Amino acid sequence: MKARLALTLAMASLWYRKKVLALVCLTLTLSVSLLLGIQYLRTEVKQSFTSTISGTDLIVGARSGQLNLLLYTVFHIGDATNNVRWSTYQSLKEDTRLEWLIPISLGDSYRGNRVVATDENFLQHFRYGRDLPLELAEGQWFEGVFDVVLGAGVARSLAHQVGEEIVLSHGGGRTSFSNHEDTPFTVTGILAPTGTPVDQAVYIGLDGMEAMHVGWESGVAIPGRTLTREQAEDRNFTPDAITAAFVGIERQVLTFRIQREINQFSGEPLSAILPGVALSELWRLMGQFERALLGITGFVVITSLIGLIAVLLTLQAQRAHEIAVLRATGASPALIASLYIIECVALALAACVLALVIGMAGLSLASPWLLANYGLQIALRPLTATEWALLAAVPVAAFMVALIPAFGTWRQSRRLGFGEAADQ
Amino acid sequence: MTSSKVTSAILAATILTTGSTFASDNPGAHQHGHAELQLAIDGNQIDLIFTSPAYNLLGFEHRARTEKQKALVTETTNWLGETPLVDTAEAGCEVMNAVVHHQAGGEDHEHEHGHAHDHEDKHEDEKSSTHSDFEVTQTLNCSGLDASEELSTPLTARFPEIEHLNVEWVWSGGQGSGRLERGETSFRPGTQ
C-alpha cells in the first residue's frame, strides 16, 4: 500500500516538473553516452587493429623479426631487407598442408601509396576483420599485364575512376622523379573500403611488376630497352623473387610445426610469423594508447557522476515547499525518502535506456560513413560485461545520491521534533 | 592409423630434422629467464611445444655431473613428461603423449609418455655450444576445453627462474599471444 502510494506520488511529482526533468535527463543521457562511447571506442579500436588481417595463418618472408615482417607486409611501413626466391615460393606451393598462398612483391609506389604485386589469390583468400573477404566496389580484378586495381582510399583521395590510365613510380616515396612512363597501367577495378591498410595501396600482377622493370636494370629507364605495352603482352614474365607470401594452412593445429619447418628451411634463410601473434605483440607495445583511453573513461565517469549529483541536489533544493506540504499532510520521513530515491533512480534508468538507443542508432547510421570517409571500422556489437557494469553503475550512483536529501529530510524532521509524531 | 598417430609421426619427423645443421639454420635465441609456450588448440585437443633454456629449469646448463644434479634432471624430466603444461580451471587435461628433449644428461635422457616412437638424439649442440635447452612437446586431451575461457599453466610456479613466459596460441577463431610474468599463471586465449 505504502509502496504504491510512494510510486504514484513519485510519478505525479516527476510529471509535474517534466520540463526541468527533461533537461536533466538530457544532460544525464549525454554523460552516459559519452561514457559508453569512449569505452566502446577503446575496445573497437583494439579490435579493428588486431583484425587488420585475419584468416592468414603464416606470413613468410626473408629472415627478419616478426614485427618488421608484419609491418612491411601488412601495414606497408618500412621496407624488406631481403626477398624470397621464386623457387622457394614454388616449393612452398607444392606443400599439400598449405591450403593457399598469396605472393606479395613490393618496392614501387604510386603517389606515396604502395604498389603491391600479387595474383588472384589475394582477392580470393585475403581476409580482414571478422573473416571478411575483399570486395570490388567497381570493375573487376586485374587480368592483363598492365591492369591495376586501386584500394578504396587511393581511389577516393586521387579521384580515380575505372578505365583511367595511371603511371606508377619507381621506388618508394611521395615524389619520385623516375616514373614508369612507358608502361602506364589501366584501372580495371576499385576495392570496397575495408578500414585497413589495404585501402592505401594499389594492386598489380606479378607479371606487371616484372614487365615495367624491363630495361630498368641500372635503376633508370634506358631508352630503347624498355618495353611498349604491345611487346609486353607477348612475353612471359616469371619473377626471380617475391617479397613475402601470406599462407593459409588447412589444419590450424599444424601452424607451429609448419612455422618451425619454414624457419629451418635449408634452401635460404626464411622467417615465418603468425600474424595474430605479431599483432597482439604490437598492440602490447602500443598499450600506452589504450591506457590513455582508459584514463579518459575514468575521468568521464567521475565528471558524469559529479554532474549527476549537482543536478539532483539542485532539484531537491527547489522542492522544500512541496516536501513541507507533504509532511504537513502526514507523510512519514520514510515515504519522503523513498520519493527521492524512486525519482532519482527512475531518471537514471531513463537516461541509460535513452543513451543506449541513441548510441546504437547513431553507430548504425554513422559506421558506413566513418568507414567510407575515414577508413574506421567500427561495428555494432552486443555490450560486454564491463560495459553493462558501467551502465549499471549509473542507477546505483543515482540511488546513493538520492540518499543525501533523504537523510537530510529525516534529520530535519528530527530537529523540528515531529519525527516521533509521524512515526506513530 | 589414427589422426593422433599421424600427428605423432609428423612430430617425430619435425624433431628429427631439428638436429641437422644448415647454413640458413642460425642457432635459436637463448635467453635466461625467458621461455616460450606454443599451443595449438583443436576441439578438445591441445598440442603444445614448450622451449626454455635449461638454466630456467635446472639452475645449470652443463651436463649433470654430481648425483644430485642427475637426480634433479631426472625429476624435472619426469615432471615435464607427466604434468599437463596447460590446464583448464577444472583440471580436465590429460597428457596423451609427451616428449622431453634436452642435453643435460642424467639417466632418463628422453622421457616418453604414451605412444613410443623411435628417434635418435644427436649431441651436436653440446659440443658446439655451452648453452643447452629443454624442449617439451605434449599432446593433451582436455575435457570441457570448449567451455573454459581461461587456461592456466603450472610452469611459472614450478620454475621461479622463468621471469617471462611467452604464450602463443592458435585456435579455430584465430591466433594470439600473451606474456606471463613471474607469479602469473593464467591467460585467456579467447581474447587477443
Residue A416 confidence (pLDDT):
66
Whether B27 is in a domain gets the answer: no
Least confident interval from A145-154, A407-416, B76-85 = A407-416
Cβ contacts of B192 on chain A, cutoff 8 Å: 46, 50, 276, 279-280, 283
Q: Which residue of B has its CA nearest to A254?
A: B40
Say if the Cβ atoms of B38 and A256 lie within 8 Å. Answer: yes
Whether B192 is in a domain gets the answer: no
Q: Please report how the helices A18-50 and A333-374 are oriented relative to each other, as an axis angle in degrees rounded to 10.
A: 40
Q: What is the dihedral of CA A179, A184, A188, A194, to 10 degrees?
A: 0
- Quick: pLDDT tens for A125-162: 999 887 889 999 999 999 888 899 999 999 988 999 99
| Bridge partners (DSSP) listed for residue A273 | A59
| Bridge partners (DSSP) listed for residue B35 | B165
pLDDT beyond 50 at B10: no
Q: Please report how the helices A333-374 and A320-328 are oriented relative to each other, as an axis angle in degrees rounded to 10.
A: 150
Whether B15 is in a domain gets the answer: yes
Sign of torsion over alpha carbons B102, B106, B112, B116: positive
**CA–CA gap between residue A151 and residue A137 (Å, rounded):** 10
Q: Between residues B109 and A392, which one has the greater pLDDT?
A: A392
Residue A90 confidence (pLDDT):
93
pLDDT beyond 60 at A394: yes
Task: Choose among B14, B25, B176: nearest Cβ to A276.
Answer: B176
Q: Between residues B14 and A386, which one has the greater pLDDT?
A: A386
Q: Which residue of B has its CA nearest to A63?
A: B24
Residue B150 confidence (pLDDT):
86
Cβ contacts of A254 on chain B, cutoff 8 Å: 10, 40
The position carrying cell 615460393 is A89
Whether B24 is in a domain gets the answer: no
* Number of cross-chain residue pairs from A and B with Cβ atoms under 8 Å apart: 76
Q: Does A415 touch chain B (CB under 8 A)?
A: no
Total tally of structural domains belonging to chain B: 1
Whether B170 is in a domain gets the answer: yes
Q: Does A274 touch chain B (CB under 8 A)?
A: yes
Residue B108 confidence (pLDDT):
43
pLDDT beyond 50 at B154: yes
Say if the Cβ atoms of A253 and B22 lie within 8 Å. Answer: no
Residue B125 confidence (pLDDT):
43
pLDDT beyond 90 at A59: yes
Say if the Cβ atoms of A281 and B177 lie within 8 Å. Answer: yes
pLDDT beyond 80 at B177: yes
Q: Provide CB contacts within 8 A for A173, sequence distance 6+.
A: A109, A112
Whether B28 is in a domain gets the answer: no
Task: Choose among A54, A261, A277: nearest Cβ to B177.
Answer: A277
Say if the Cβ atoms of B178 and A280 lie within 8 Å. Answer: yes
| Domain-wise residue ranges, chain A | 2-50+287-423, 58-273
Residue B16 confidence (pLDDT):
43
- Quick: pLDDT tens for A235-278: 778 888 999 999 999 888 889 999 999 998 888 899 999 998 99
Provide mean pLDDT across the span A400-423. Answer: 68
Residues of B with CB under 8 A from a CB of A: 7, 10-11, 14, 17-18, 22, 24-26, 38, 40-42, 45, 47, 49, 168, 170-172, 174-179, 192
The position carrying cell 570496397 is A192
DSSP-derived secondary structure for B74-102: HHHHHHHHHS-SSEETT--EEEEEEEEE-
Provide mean pLDDT across the span B84-100. Answer: 89
Neighbouring C-beta atoms of residue A216, cutoff 10 Å: 16
Tell me if B53 sits within 8 A of B183, measured CB to CB. Answer: no
Residue B88 confidence (pLDDT):
87
Provide mean pLDDT across the span A86-103. Answer: 92
Tell me if A134 sits within 8 A of A123, measured CB to CB. Answer: yes
Mutate to test the interface with A, among B17, B24, B49, B96 (most CBs of A within 10 A): B24
Say if the Cβ atoms of A50 and B192 lie within 8 Å. Answer: yes
Mutate to test the interface with A, among B142, B171, B175, B180 (most CBs of A within 10 A): B175
- Quick: pLDDT tens for A364-379: 888 888 777 776 677 7
Tell me if A243 sits within 8 A of A61, measured CB to CB. Answer: yes
Task: Choose among A54, A260, A270: nearest Cβ to B174.
Answer: A54
**CA–CA gap between residue A48 and residue A286 (Å, rounded):** 14
**CA–CA gap between residue B45 and residue B34 (Å, rounded):** 26
Mutate to test the interface with A, among B140, B168, B188 (most CBs of A within 10 A): B168
Residue A398 confidence (pLDDT):
83
Cβ contacts of B45 on chain A, cutoff 8 Å: 253
Range of the domain at B88: 3-19+33-187
Say if the Cβ atoms of B177 and A275 lie within 8 Å. Answer: no
User: Please, which pLDDT band fits residue B190 given cuts at 50, 70 and 90?
Assistant: low
Q: Does A252 touch chain B (CB under 8 A)?
A: yes
**Phi and psi (nearest 5°) for A235?**
-95, 160
Q: Which residue of B has its CA nearest to A128?
A: B174
Three state DSSP letters for chain A: CHHHHHHHHHHHHHHHCHHHHHHHHHHHHHHHHHHHHHHHHHHHHHHHHHCCCECCCEEEEECCCHHHHHHHHCCCCCCCCCCEEHHHHHHHHHCCCEEEEEEEEEEEEECCEEEEEECHHHHHHCEECCCEECCEEEECCCCCCCEEEECHHHHHHHCCCCCCEECCECCCCCCCCCECCCCCEEEEEEECCCCCHHHHEEEEEHHHHHHCCCCCCCCCCCCCCCCCHHHHHHCCCCCCEECEEEEEECCHHHHHHHHHHHHCCCCCCEEEECHHHHHHHHHHHCHHHHHHHHHHHHHHHHHHHHHHHHHHHHHHHCCHHHHHHHHHCCCCHHHHHHHHHHHHHHHHHHHHHHHHHHHHHHHHHHHHHHHHHHCCCCCCCCCCHHHHHHHHHHHHHHHHHHHHHHHHHHHHHHHHCCHHHHHC
Q: Which residue of A has its CA nearest to B175?
A: A276
Mutate to test the interface with B, among A253, A265, A284, A290 (most CBs of B within 10 A): A253
User: Please, which pLDDT band fits residue A98 given cuts at 50, 70 and 90?
Assistant: very high
Cβ contacts of B145 on chain A, cutoff 8 Å: none
Residue B25 confidence (pLDDT):
57
Whole-number mean pLDDT of chain A?
A: 83
Q: Which residue of B has its CA nearest to A264?
A: B25
Say if the Cβ atoms of B178 and A257 lie within 8 Å. Answer: no
Tell me if A51 sits within 8 A of A376, measured CB to CB. Answer: no
Q: Does A253 touch chain B (CB under 8 A)?
A: yes
Tell me if A56 sits within 8 A of A275, measured CB to CB. Answer: yes
User: Please, which pLDDT band fits residue B130 given cuts at 50, 70 and 90?
Assistant: low
Residue A119 confidence (pLDDT):
92
